[in-house]
Amino acid sequence: MKVLVIGSGGREHAMAWKIAQSSKVQMVYVAPGNGGTALDQRLQNVAITDINQLADFAQDEKIGLTVVGPEAPLAAGVVNVFRARGLRVFGPTKEAAQLESSKAFSKDFMQRHGIPTALYQTFSDAALAHAHLEKVGAPIVVKADGLAAGKGVVVATTLAEAHEAVDWMLLDNKLGVQHVAGADGAAVPRVVIEEFLDGEEASFIVLADGKNVSVLATSQDHKRLLDGDAGPNTGGMGAYSPAPVVTPNVHAKAMQEIILPTLAGMAKDGIPYTGFLYAGLMIDSHGNPRTLEFNCRMGDPETQPIFMRLKSDLLEVLIHAADGTLDQIELQWDRRVALGVVVAAAGYPLDPKKGDVITGLPAEAEDAMVFHAGTTLGKDGKVLTSGGRVLCVTALGDSVRMAQQRAYEYMNGIHFDGMQARRDIGWRAIKAR
Ligand code: AMP
Ligand code: GLY
């Protein structure tokens, strides 16, 4: 079977890499792909990003399955377009993707269906937002409503920070957030101001086929730029799987109180959910998970360690997921821990530097792999940086510490100008032991 993976990040490299291991696969196309997918003999990049052109390509090439990596094409309706043309695709429709693309939609949804999350209020008027902040005080969380690639969130420890965040989100839109239509139909800047939740985060990702659900291995991301979880929020600086904070008890609660009611609620609201569903959990000291956010896709960089541990044939799994027969399979996992360290460009997250030559990339090993994200393959065969998060160096080990050691050792020879990487990925799990 020919497969099409849409996207260009580390997540899509990991998906395509894993799908290519299937005995059923004839060719894996990645649109548009990156330097890493260009280098891999089993993958082929296709320089298309327009949704209708992607559907044309899938039709012309007789693609048997298309999988969508990032949120932007999902929010733009790629699944709707593919389905309307009778093409097999795995992902949520545009309507279902609102769980991620509109914070206001997802918060209203959670409130309506009794899904545990932080208290919140939505504002488009800056004066009202400022007045609300004065009333509730800090710490407080201010979020831009719309797609901001994980960067439109300010966890403000002081009121001054919160006021500043409201101003730049509502008035300046420095991050270039894509605004989405609200209840009034207008796509204007909006902020969600929400209660600060204390606890430890984990990523809880499932596959939903409209009727059944399969749970992926748990993971934990590291959202802050710097060691010790300091510095600004990023798309994610590293992740490992499994996450010990998700004990069997937390796992059961996450399913019963969050995932299953969400899928049932979407079906009840007439927007059945298909695709990856990612619940970002905040787990309090009593082991109660609350939903920080939903993503309508897999996490990046969580996908890299998760798929490194997946022993099942991913193509087979995704076909079942697209066909509504997930009840016929069971996922098999490597018992080892996988840990991925993101190597980011100088200036990330605000203004990443591009065009630097990357040297010292190691060859794939049984227990380690460099997934590419913001890279391109130059005509001379050199690999160049082309985005904020450049690589995710991922390794397996018998413990978090051993996977961490292996990942950093494997990363050792890699170099480009101004590269940034945290040195402490996995620290919470190591400390917990
Ligand atoms: P989000 O994109 O909504 O997941 O937010 C990005 C990050 O901001 C999360 O991973 C958390 O680390 C932090 N965050 C978001 N909302 C809250 C909250 N209500 N309380 C505490 N931290 C939060
Ligand atoms: N790593 C967090 C995300 O993909 O949203």
Q: Structure tokens of 6?
A: 């849409």
End-to-end CA distance of the chain: 44
Predicted confidence band of residue 170 (pLDDT cuts 50, 70, 90)? confident
Residue type for 313, please?
D
pLDDT of residue 188: 74
Atom of ligand 2 nearest to the CA of 239: 1
pLDDT at 150 over 60: no
Contact 398, 336 (CB under 8 A): yes
Predicted confidence band of residue 104 (pLDDT cuts 50, 70, 90)? confident
Most informative mutation of 71, 103, 153 for ligand 1 (most atoms within 8 A of CB): 153
Task: Name the residue among 24, 18, 89 with its Cα closest to residue 55.
Answer: 89
Sheet holding 389-397, edge to edge: 220-221, 238-241, 337-344, 389-397, 368-372
Helix (H) or strand (E) holding 18: helix 10-19
Please, where are the H alpha helices in 150-253? 159-167, 248-253
Residue whose CA is at the smallest distance from ligand 2 atom 4: 299
Residue 340, φ and ψ in degrees, nearest 5: -120, 135
Half-sphere exposure of 8 (CA within 13 A, CB side): 22
Lowest mean pLDDT among 152-166, 197-211, 258-272, 273-287: 152-166
- Kindly give the distance from the C-alpha atom of residue 342 to the centroid of ligand 2, in angstroms, as a whole number: 12
Which residues sit with their C-beta closer than 6 Å to ligand 1? 118, 141, 143, 150, 153, 155, 194-197, 201, 223, 233, 280, 292-293
Most informative mutation of 196, 292, 296, 428 for ligand 1 (most atoms within 8 A of CB): 292
Predicted confidence band of residue 177 (pLDDT cuts 50, 70, 90)? low
pLDDT at 250 over 70: yes
Per cent of the chain over pLDDT 90 is 88
Which ligand places an atom closest to the C-alpha of 219? Answer: 2
- How many helical (H) and strand (E) elements, i.e. helices and strands, does the chain have? 15, 23
Task: Name the residue among 94, 330, 70 with its Cα closest to residue 212.
Answer: 330
CA 346, CA 310: separation in Å to the nearest integer?
32
Helix (H) or strand (E) holding 207: strand 200-209
Predicted confidence band of residue 178 (pLDDT cuts 50, 70, 90)? low
Helix (H) or strand (E) holding 294: strand 289-295
Task: Name the residue among 351, 341, 314 with its Cα closest to residue 18.
Answer: 314
- Kindly give the distance from the C-alpha atom of residue 297 to the centroid of ligand 2, in angstroms, as a whole number: 9
pLDDT of residue 72: 96
Most informative mutation of 74, 101, 203, 223 for ligand 2 (most atoms within 8 A of CB): 203
Q: What is the mean pLDDT of the chain?
A: 94
Angle at 137 between CA 134 and CA 141, to 5 degrees: 110
Residue identified by tokens 């998060």 is: 389
Q: Which of residues 329 and 170 earns the better pLDDT score?
A: 329
pLDDT at 152 over 90: no
Tens of pLDDT, residue by residue over 275-296, are 999 999 999 999 999 999 999 9
pLDDT of residue 432: 85
CA 378, CA 355: separation in Å to the nearest integer?
10
Which ligand places an atom closest to the C-alpha of 293? Answer: 1
Which ligand places an atom closest to the C-alpha of 284? Answer: 1
Predicted confidence band of residue 189 (pLDDT cuts 50, 70, 90)? confident
Q: What is the DSSP code string of 157-172?
A: SSHHHHHHHHHIIIII
pLDDT of residue 284: 97
Tens of pLDDT, residue by residue over 47-86, are 999 999 999 999 999 999 999 999 999 999 999 999 999 9
> Cβ(300) to ligand 2 under 6 A?
yes
pLDDT at 154 over 70: yes
Compute CA 5 distance to the chain's CA centroid, rounded to the nearest angstrom: 15
- Kindly give the distance from the C-alpha atom of residue 301 to the centroid of ligand 2, in angstroms, as a whole number: 7
Q: Count Cβ atoms within 10 A of the Cβ of residue 335 and give its class: 0-12 exposed, 13-18 middle, 19 or more buried.
A: exposed
Residue identified by tokens 């937390």 is: 250
What domains sit in the chain, N to C, each tagged with a CATH number?
A: 2-93 (3.40.50.20), 125-189 (3.30.1490.20)
- Kindly give the distance from the C-alpha atom of residue 291 to the centroid of ligand 1, in angstroms, as a whole number: 9
Q: Structure tokens of 224?
A: 């802050």
- Kindly give the distance from the C-alpha atom of residue 223 to the centroid of ligand 1, in angstroms, as a whole number: 9
Predicted confidence band of residue 145 (pLDDT cuts 50, 70, 90)? confident
